[in-house]
Amino acid sequence: MMPMITIEAAQNKIDNKTKPVGSLGLLEETAIQLALVQNTLQPCVAKKRMLVYAASHGIAEEGVSAFPAAVTGQMVENFLHGGAAINILCRHGGIEVHVIDVGVDADFGSTVKFNPVFFDRRVRRGTRNFAKEAAMTEDECQQAMDAGREQVRLARENGVQMLGIGEMGIANTTSAAAIYAALLGIPPEKVAGRGTGVSDEGLQKKQQVIKNALISHHPTHTEPLALYWLSAVGGFEIAAMAGTILEAAHMRVPVVVDGFIATAAAAVAMALDEKVKPVCFFAHCSNEQAHAEALECLQARPLLNLEMRLGEGTGAALAMHLIDSAAKIMCDMATFESAGVSNQNQS
């Protein structure tokens, strides 16, 4: 077994590059984090893959989204035709894309089903309406999480060095907000944002739905609270992303966490296993209400703040460029000694 790289060794390597100590800021911290995850002072993330998990939500019946539920399935087809924002950003960055159906309420034709980057892991045709009953059973939740774990194992087999997680699911900001409210204690009035652009009336309805869910689904037994709330108010795609993070931590694969919904999956994974945080690179602070507070609760520092709130993994795709840059700084930048440059207090 290889000896573990120490944070001191990684810090020493970055400090000896031809620059003032700490002058590359968060890029240096990112390089060190990556070196520790990959257990090497020569970190590399040349082969990258984005995992876009898609699922429909029963809570959409409550009118909490500005878009109809059918858009989830339509966007899956758009992903596979290469026309979505995530496709553009991934093509630009040389990032592979996998689209995983873990619960879309749609009938896909052969052009979808036989697409080599499409994975049919549908648990059922969308979650149940958590305003009326639990979104999923424990078994369904585990099945979705297993679909996320599978993608990490496949990535390892394919030599992928870094994963990104994104999602598609109309009404999933309501599920994510409910998870934050339950696990992080953020009040419904603060945690519920406009998502796809709901009206004032829709926003009030969304807040009320979350308030009611916290009461109606209040746990009565002592299973892991994160799993309980994930099953009660979550989505299949959120469960799958949580499974990805948990398996990535086990296999020491760096994961770039996208925005508001992906961070909710990270909150679940971190509550289930405190060892997962080091493998998580938080891509950006979403413009969605309460994402900044959720990141603060998780003590997570995002790499970017571009006022984005699209999802799909778009923020993660952009952040992958920075993480790759951080790796190259660690590996390729000259040291004072190799470049013949005087260090501080040297003449």
For the chain, 347 residues long, the average pLDDT of each consecutive 10-residue run is: 90 96 97 98 98 97 91 98 98 98 97 97 98 97 98 98 98 96 95 78 87 93 89 98 98 98 98 96 95 97 96 98 98 91 69
Q: Residue 284: what pLDDT?
A: 98
| pTM above threshold 0.85 | yes
Domain boundaries, the chain: 48-324
Angle, in degrees to the nearest 10, between helices 138-157 and 225-233:
100
Q: Residue 163: what pLDDT?
A: 98
Residues with Cβ within 8 Å of residue 256, at least 6 apart in sequence:
162, 163, 164, 165, 281, 283, 316, 319, 320, 323
Coil, strand or helix: which one is 174? helix
Retrieve residue 195's tokens.
């998502």
What's the CA gap between 220 and 119, in Å, rounded?
Answer: 36
Q: Which residue has the tokens 């995850």?
A: 37
List active site positions: 312
The CATH class of the 48-324 domain is alpha beta
C-beta neighbour count of 85 within 10 angstroms: 16
Coil, strand or helix: which one is 50? strand
Q: Residue 204: what pLDDT?
A: 86
**The amino acid at 344:** Q
Coil, strand or helix: which one is 54? strand
C-beta neighbour count of 182 within 10 angstroms: 25
Backbone angles phi, psi at 52, to 5 degrees: -105, 110
Backbone angles phi, psi at 53, to 5 degrees: -95, 135
Q: Residue 65: what pLDDT?
A: 87
Q: Residue 231: what pLDDT?
A: 97
